[in-house]
Amino acid sequence: MLYLWLKAAHLIFVIFWMAGLFMMPRFFVYHQEAAAGSPEAALWVEREAKLKKIILNPSLIVVWLLGLVLAVQIGAFAQGWFHAKLLFVLLLSGYHGWMIGYAKKLARGERKMTGKKLRLINEVPGIAAAIIVILVIVKPF
């Protein structure tokens, strides 16, 4: 029974994390559309910091902790599908780290990317999530 509760909690925090991963690039687009140094740009810095502090970082930590506990419980480290899943979770974690870094650049007034690129980058978590779900449900190898 404990396994099912851990699995449910893991999935709940994956949903929270994914929501944050989808929201942050959209925040970046709106932030970049605001005039540099304007009160609106300052509001976006604040919103990005809150999203990071309240949703993104805590969810990432809980997802990893619960995911590793679940993996140990089912012996997933010996299964090929899990290695592929772990690779994509590592890539998503790197994407998360990149977003945190880019938020800091925007807060300093550095605007290195266009809104179009940020909109394209917003597709990364959706593609990764689809692949991860297929790996976990179908277990193709």
**Residues at the annotated binding site for heme?**
10, 85
Report how far apart, in Å, the C-alpha atoms of 81 and of each of 17, 61, 72, 77, 105 are: 22, 22, 14, 9, 36
Sequence-ordered alpha helix ranges (H) in the chain: 2-33, 39-50, 57-74, 80-107, 115-121, 124-138
Binding residues: 10, 85
Burial of 20 (0-12, 13-18, 19+ CB in 10 A): buried
- DSSP one-letter string for 96-125: HHHHHHHHHHHHTT---S-HHHHHHHTTHH
